[in-house]
């Protein structure tokens, strides 16, 4: 865990953040703005591993009350500046997702988004992630995860659909999944997928 935190700190310090500026995931856009009846009404959303805030700002622009969490202070400084420039209000918190209960988030979230965070975690952190997630969501909450499938570049471990279903059972059920062909141009063609889950009652 400490190693991962240091790795991200070093990457942000060096300005080596290839995920920055990636296209908005199609799965996210469909969920927020889609006209197929799948779009959610705005509510409270928690963006896990929010980085420099692009997704949080997009959500705020679309009427959501947004909390963005990341454990890299430099990313959050950039995120706060971007939100101020975009004239949107986002609560950005410095916290470790695997210890979210220490952050006192204060509300059950209607939606949780994760773009590129869970997919890099080890087994132990994945299990803690699920426990923490269950504590900040309630029946009918939604969860949208975007991640590389296994075998990606940069040593990112990746995650696939069977693991998603296993990891989040029994509290969550998979609603849909799909490819994200335009998501990150530097991933060497490695498929990126999104997974939409709903919390069971």
Which pair of structure tokens corresponds to residue 34?
A: 């889609």
Binder among 44, 110, 115, 137 for ligand SAM (CB under 6 A): 115
- The answer to whether 71 contacts ligand SAM (rule: CB under 6 A) is yes
Site for ligand SAM in 33-62 (CB under 6 A): 49-51, 54-55
Q: Is the peptide bond before 170 cis (omega within 30 degrees of 0)?
A: yes
- The answer to whether 90 contacts ligand SAM (rule: CB under 6 A) is no
- Distance of closest approach, residue 201 Cβ to ligand SAM, in angstroms: 28
Nearest to ligand SAM of 20, 107 (CB atom): 20
**Distance, CA of 79 to CA of 100 (rounded, Å):** 19
Nearest to ligand SAM of 35, 180 (CB atom): 180
Q: In what side-by-side order are the strands of the sheet with 109-115? A: 90-94, 65-70, 44-48, 109-115, 137-148, 192-199, 172-179
Specify the residue for token string 């990891």: 167
Nearest to ligand SAM of 15, 37 (CB atom): 15
- Distance of closest approach, residue 48 Cβ to ligand SAM, in angstroms: 7
Cα 138 → chain centroid: 18
Stretch that binds ligand SAM, among 32-40, 91-99, 102-110, 161-169 (CB under 6 A): 91-99
Site for ligand SAM in 12-31 (CB under 6 A): 19-20
How far CA 148 is from CA of 145, 153, 157, 185, in Å, comes to 10, 9, 8, 12
């Amino acid at each position: 865990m400490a190693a991962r935190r240091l790795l991200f700190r070093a990457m942000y310090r060096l300005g080596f953040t290839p995920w920055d500026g990636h296209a908005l995931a199609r799965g996210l856009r469909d969920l927020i703005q889609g006209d197929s009846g799948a779009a959610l009404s705005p509510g409270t959303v928690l963006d896990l591993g929010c980085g420099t805030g692009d997704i949080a700002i997009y959500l705020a622009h679309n009427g959501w009350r947004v909390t963005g969490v990341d454990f890299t202070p430099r990313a959050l400084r950039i995120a706060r500046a971007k939100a101020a420039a975009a004239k949107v209000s986002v609560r950005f918190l410095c916290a470790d997702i695997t210890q979210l209960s220490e952050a006192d988030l204060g509300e059950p979230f209607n939606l949780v988004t994760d773009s590129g965070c869970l997919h890099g975690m080890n087994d132990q952190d994945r299990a803690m992630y699920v426990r923490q997630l269950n504590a900040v969501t309630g029946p009918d909450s939604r969860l949208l995860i975007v991640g590389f499938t296994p075998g990606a570049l940069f040593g990112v471990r990746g995650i696939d659909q069977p693991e998603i279903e296993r990891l989040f059972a029994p509290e969550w059920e998979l609603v849909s999944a799909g490819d994200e062909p335009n998501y990150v141009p530097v991933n060497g063609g490695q498929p990126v997928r999104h997974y939409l889950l709903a919390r069971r009652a």
